[in-house]
């Protein structure tokens, strides 16, 4: 099966990060990945001034309304803004398998958010795990009970660091049935 995925930068996002996500997805998953050359800025209408965060579900719907009819099988918004979904204080990402849209929110994946020194590799590893997680949701995967599987739920950055950038056998089987093939690099051993 042939799938297309559009990576859409939303807010302040580095081109180096986006291009590396594109490269790693294309190397490891049977998806044709395209990157939008336009950066979209989420509307302030969805910004909660008290919380200083965006409402993630509204950004997801907004992105679908803007890009859902362009013919891509999946859309991945990589967002340089912080977001939440009630009742949670924040989310690293959000996805809608019906719409085929996923979002990854970058601020809380950065080491400097936690008072650590800037570390692009650590930030990238966290980001790629969340990209795989949210794209997995768009192919029908739910949260996995295997804490090492990339599909396990992360309610802190420690959970993100603990899990692997790889799918367990159960999740791999579901992806395969959905037509998505992943390389051995993304298979949990």
Active-site positions?
A: 134
Contact 131, 151 (CB under 8 A): no
Q: How long a stretch of residues is the chain?
A: 189
Q: ∠ at Cα 156 (11, 77), nearest 5°?
A: 25
CA 131 to chain centre: 3
Q: State the Cα torsion 83-89-90-95 to the nearest 10°.
A: -90
C-alpha–C-alpha distance, residues 18 and 7, integer Å: 8
Kindly state the helix (H) or strand (E) to which residue 17 belongs, with its residue range.
Answer: helix 15-28
CB atoms within 10 A of CB 58: 17
Residue written as token pair 């037509």? 179
Q: CB-hemisphere CA count at 13 Å for 181? A: 5
């Amino acid at each position: 099966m042939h799938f297309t995925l559009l990576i859409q930068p939303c807010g302040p996002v580095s081109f180096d990060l986006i291009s590396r996500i594109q490269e790693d997805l294309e190397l490891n998953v049977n998806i044709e990945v395209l990157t939008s050359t336009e950066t979209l800025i989420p509307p302030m209408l969805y910004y909660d001034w008290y919380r200083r965060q965006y409402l993630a579900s509204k950004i997801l719907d907004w992105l679908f309304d803007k890009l859902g009819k362009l013919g891509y099988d999946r859309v991945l918004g990589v967002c340089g803004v912080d977001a939440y979904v009630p009742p949670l204080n924040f989310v690293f990402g959000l996805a809608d398998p019906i719409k085929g849209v996923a979002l990854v929110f970058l601020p809380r994946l950065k080491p400097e958010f936690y008072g650590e020194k800037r570390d692009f590799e650590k930030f990238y590893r966290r980001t790629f795990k969340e990209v795989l997680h949210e794209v997995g949701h768009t192919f029908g995967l739910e949260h996995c009970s295997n804490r090492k599987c990339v599909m396990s739920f992360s309610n802190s950055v420690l959970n993100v660091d603990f899990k692997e950038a790889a799918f367990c056998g159960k999740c791999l089987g579901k992806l395969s049935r959905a037509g998505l093939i992943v390389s051995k690099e993304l298979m949990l051993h």
